[in-house]
Amino acid sequence: MPTISRIAEYQDELAEIRHDIHAHPELGFEETRTAALVAEKLRAWGIDEVHTDIAGTGVVGVIKGREEGRCIGLRADMDALPIQEATDLPYASRHAGKMHACGHDGHTTILLGAARYLAETRDFAGTVVLIFQPAEEGLGGARRMLADRLFERFPCDEIYGIHNDPTSDPGKVSVTPGPAMAGATFFDIVIEGKGAHAAMPHQSNDPVIVAAELIHQLQTVVSRNTSPTSPLVLSVTQVHAGSAYNVIPNEATLAGTIRYFDDEVCERTHERIRLLCKGLELAHEVKIRVDLRNIFNVLVNEPGCAGAYVAAAAEVVGEENSALVDRLVTGSEDFADMLQVVPGAYCWVGHAGSVPLHNPGYVLDDGILPVGASIMARVVERRLPIRQGASA
What CA–CA distance (Å, rounded) separates 191 from 205? 10
What is the number of alpha carbons within 13 Å of residue 6 lying toward its C-beta?
A: 17
What CA–CA distance (Å, rounded) separates 256 from 277? 15
Buried b (16+ CB within 10 A) or exposed e, 49-83: ebbbebbbbbbbbbbbbbeebebbbbbbbbbbbeb
102 belongs to an annotated ligand binding site: yes
100 belongs to an annotated ligand binding site: no
Largest CA distance in the chain: 89
Across-strand partners of 344?
Answer: 159
Q: At what angle do helices 303-317 and 368-383 cross, to 10 degrees?
A: 130
358 belongs to an annotated ligand binding site: yes
202 belongs to an annotated ligand binding site: no
What is the number of alpha carbons within 13 Å of residue 346 lying toward its C-beta?
A: 28
Residues 6+ apart with CB under 8 A from 138: 28, 186, 295, 296
What CA–CA distance (Å, rounded) separates 2 from 378? 10
104 belongs to an annotated ligand binding site: yes
State the binding site for Mn(2+). 102, 104, 137, 163, 358
State the binding site. 102, 104, 137, 163, 358
